[in-house]
Structure formats: structure tokens, C-alpha cells
Amino acid sequence: MIKEFLPYDKVRNNALKLAHRIYTKDNFVPDVMYCSLRGGAYMANVISEYFKIVRKGSHPVLYAALVARSYSGVKSHSKLMIDGWTYPPERLRPGDKVMLVDDIFDSGDTVNALANILLDRGIPREDLKIIVHDYKYFTYKEEQHPIQPDYYCRKFEINSPDEDRWIHYMSHELVGLSDDDLEKYYYKDDPELRDVLSTILGK
């Protein structure tokens, strides 16, 4: 498996370029933008800020968030639990254009479950745009989810399990770091972090 450390400023810059393309090339302006917490927050904040500036003086884009968790149930089927929406889908109106932002499309389970909730509210598929920073497409899997990202910053076509990649988003993730990772990506630039992270991570 490939391991990648993705700096937050790269996500920021890619999100700005993607928002600009969505707005200027495809002329898509959402009425509501949902951010899937936690992963989608950093990218969604940037996209929201972009639309706030370019839509100044116009109808603002409503920025909403939701908390969703995937877990394995009986027989290891992945299930989704939604802890809350800051703007419930029941309040969506006919004609609303919606954007759903997350950091990564990996298994696709979470995005598809959330998208189906929004589609069930009567939002046409063409008015629902799925936005991710990283889009993993597993070419060797026979079954693919019906809903795939409409926009992405990077796409990885993965032809075997060995080609899969673990992307560490440095904007918010701390789990799964080795001693070498901590030294290279955290302590080298800011030695004071050693006291902080060694206390909570036990390393």
C-alpha cells in the first residue's frame, strides 16, 4: 500500500481551483452545500469562502454540515449512522441545487448513502453534485456504486489491492502515525509538538 502525507495548503489550493472551475466553466451554483464532518470540513470551508466572495451581493450559498459514521454490522455489512444535519434534508425546496463535499471517495458507501437521502427528497441527480478531493476508483472490483463523484481534485485508478493508497490528511488526522511519520512530518518542523503528541499518542 502506498502511504501519502497530504499538506493542508495543497488541499486548500486544489479546492480553490476546483471551486473556480465549477463556477466559471460549468456555471453550477449550489443553494445548499453540505459538508460531511470531519473529513470534508477543510475543503468545504474553502469552497464556501470562494462562493461567499464571488456571490457577494447575490443570494448566498447556505453552508450546512452533517455528521455521519460508517460501521460494520452483522455479517460485516457496512452501515451508516447519521448523528445530525445542521440543515435537515426535509427543508430542501423544489428546484434547490445541492453540493455534497467530502475529503475522499474510497469505498463510496458514505457518499452513496448520503446522496440517496438527498435524492429521496426529490432533488434530481443533475442538481446534486458530489465533490471530493480524492477519488479512488477500484478497477478490479466488479460492483461499483451507482453514484460516483462529479468533481474531484485527484483521481486514482487502483488496479489491485497492492496499488491502494492510505492518504493522511495533515489538516486533521493523527491516527495511524508511526514514530518515523511523527519525526518527519511533525517534530522536524516544530519540536514542541513532541511534548503534545507523545502525551496523547504514547510515542
Copy the grid coordinates of residue 73.
454490522
Question: Which band of pLDDT confidence, cut at 50, 70 and 90, is reported for residue 143?
Answer: confident
pLDDT at res. 45: 94
Residue 79, pLDDT > 80, answer: no
pLDDT at res. 203: 64
Lowest mean pLDDT among 21-25, 46-50, 199-203: 199-203
Residue 189, pLDDT > 90, answer: no
pLDDT at res. 175: 79
Residue 74, pLDDT > 50, answer: no
Distance between CA 33 and CA 31 in Å, rounded?
7
Q: What is the pLDDT of residues 34-67, one digit of tens each?
A: 998 888 889 999 999 999 999 888 888 999 999 8
Question: Which band of pLDDT confidence, cut at 50, 70 and 90, is reported for residue 146?
Answer: very high
Residue 124, pLDDT > 70, answer: yes
CB atoms within 10 A of CB 110: 21
For all residues of the chain together, what is the average pLDDT?
A: 89
pTM of the model: 0.85
| Beta carbons within 8 Å of 196's beta carbon, 6+ residues apart | none
pLDDT at res. 70: 67
Nearest to 89 by CA among 130, 128, 59: 128
Task: Set out the domains of the chain in order of their start, with CATH numbers.
Answer: 2-171 (3.40.50.2020), 173-203 (no CATH)
Distance between CA 199 and CA 193 in Å, rounded?
10
Residue 10, pLDDT > 90, answer: yes
Identify whether the C-beta of residue 101 lies closer than 8 Å to the C-beta of residue 47: yes
Identify whether the C-beta of residue 131 lies closer than 8 Å to the C-beta of residue 100: yes
pLDDT at res. 75: 47
CB atoms within 10 A of CB 27: 7
pLDDT at res. 109: 87
Lowest mean pLDDT among 76-85, 109-118, 165-174: 76-85
Which segments within the chain are labelled E, that is strand? 2-6, 32-37, 62-72, 78-85, 98-105, 128-138, 151-158, 165-169
